[in-house]
Structure 1
């Protein structure tokens, strides 16, 4: 099976987290991850590219965007310039096992996020941001890419977005369009 991986856009990841923290101050890492997941998937299907380009892994409570999660964690090991940009834009307050995100700016600008990026993140937040933890967990577990990754041996297996394309009329045409649009990281993709 073809495995695809997208080019990650760290600027969109960081600005997207700040955007969500602006719309819902105190949003936790769990909801940030799920809101991004649904927004990335829907944006890919509608516009031919994800918002973040992040790599999703199948964890116990559902899909988790790897790099976004790493940036939120205090001990992420990410390059200093990314951590510095994150800290300029987002303040993180720890409350036991929850990390709450807040915008560090009163009137933030989001130059890396397109109109559709902001629209899909806001729509995903409106739909999923107030769901109970169990409902959101159950809903995200129904994703075919999650199900396939969860069935693999081991933990935290990478999800393959190729499963998302299967809902389209012709997944091969969609895959070729993604290659032509250069949103796929060819170094990590078997075509």
Structure 2
């Protein structure tokens, strides 16, 4: 793992993956894997998305925005890449909820659906939690999960996150206020 504090760039590797911020040179790889997604399999899977607005300039701006968010500790966004060929598999991100006496953040994760059921999500999230605790210095990480998303629940549990509670009417999505299951993990 390496940390360049002047740009707050964190990168990490597992047996099969590289987890790092997106670079401008990732554009074609990133775009190709979004275009290769399968149709949506359920409500929590975007499936194929319209990528027509995602020009090279748009992507360069996205990379710069991610860097700005990291430098201000608002959010830390990481691409997940397969080590053997560099294929972009998905994303993992952390949003800072509160620092000070809490050191509290939220995790989000997404693997392109053409790469599901190969263990990439578990491997990526496990390593991302290592980044969150050891390099970003969070004490607590939460996953906010829809009640009807068993794949995300199983993933959270498989990486050692514990169910804490159900927050009622917690987030506005799908045109309504929805409940979320809260899973958490603390640094040890």
- In the superposition, the TM-score normalised over structure 2's length comes to 0.26
Larger relative contact order (Cα-Cα within 8 Å, sequence gap ≥ 6): 1
TM-score normalized by structure 1? 0.26
* Structure (1 or 2) with the greater helix fraction: 1
